[in-house]
Amino acid sequence: MSFLEFLETRSSDMVELGLEHAGVVALSVLLATIIGVTLGIATYQNARARGTVLAVTGAILTIPSFALFILLLGPLGLGWPPTVVALTLYGLMPVVRNTITGLRGVDPAVLEAAKGMGLSRRQRLLRIELPLAWPVIITGIRVTTLVLLGITAIAAIINGPGYGDLIFTGLARVGTPVAVNLVLAGALGVMILAVLFDLLFYTARKLTTSKGIQ
C-alpha cells in the first residue's frame, strides 16, 4: 500500500489524533502563557528575581521529556494529566523570557510620559507596557507552541494524546510493511500542525498588535 493510500484509509484516525495533539498543545500553551506572562510581569524589574525565574524555567527545559513524563507518572498517572503538566512546564521558558525581554525593551521615555499624564502603575502596565511588549511576547508563545508540538509526540509513552501513538505503534510493528507508513503519518501530522499553528500565530500577531507599532 502506498503512503497516500494509507493516509486515505486512516484519514479519520489522522483527524482524530490531530485534534487531540492540537488540543493538548493548545491547552498547555494557554496555561504556560498565563503562568509565564504572570511570572514575567512579577520579576522583570528585579535583576535577581528575573535571573532566578529564567534559570529555573531554563533548567526545566533541559530535563529530557522522557524522564519528566516518567517522573510525573507516579503522582499523576497516565494520559492527559501528566502530559498537560509536563508540556506546561516545558512551555514556560520561552514565554517568560520573551515577556521579560519585551517589557524591558519599552522606551523609558514613554513610561516617563505616561507617568506625567497621571497613569497609575497598573494603568501603565496594562495600557502602555504590555501592548508595546506584545509582539515580543507572542513570538515567545509561538516558539513555545512549536517546541511543545514536538515533545507531545513522546507523550505516547505514557498513553498521552496525539500523533505519538502512530509513531510508537509503528515501532512496535517494525519489520511489517505498515510500520513505515505509520511512522511517516505521525511525523507528517506533527509537521502539518506546526505549519498550521505558525500561520495562526502570524495572523494573531497581526490582528492583536497595537496599530501604532505595526
Give the footprint of other proteins on residues 5-34 (CB under 8 A): none
Q: How many CB atoms lie within 10 A of CB 117?
A: 10
CA distance 202 to 205: 5
170 binds other proteins (CB under 8 A): yes
How is residue 108 written as a grid cell?
523609558
Nearer to other proteins (CB atom), residue 74 or residue 108 = 74
Alpha helices of the chain — where are they, by DSSP H? 3-9, 11-43, 47-62, 65-76, 80-104, 108-116, 121-124, 130-152, 164-172, 177-208
Give the footprint of other proteins on residues 61-100 (CB under 8 A): 61-68, 70-71, 73-74, 93-94, 97-98, 100
| Interface map 141-160 toward other proteins (x if CB under 8 A) | --x--xx-xxxxxx--x---
Q: Please spell the DSSP secondary structure of 37-56, one letter per residue.
A: HHHHHHHTT-HHHHHHHHHH
* Shortest reach from residue 11's CB to other proteins, in Å: 20
35 binds other proteins (CB under 8 A): no
Task: Give 153's DSSP letter.
Answer: G
Q: Which residues of this protein are in contact with other proteins, per CB under 8 A?
A: 50-51, 54-55, 58-59, 61-68, 70-71, 73-74, 93-94, 97-98, 100, 139-140, 143, 146-147, 149-154, 157, 164, 167-168, 170-171, 173-175, 179-180, 182-184, 186-187, 190-191, 194-195
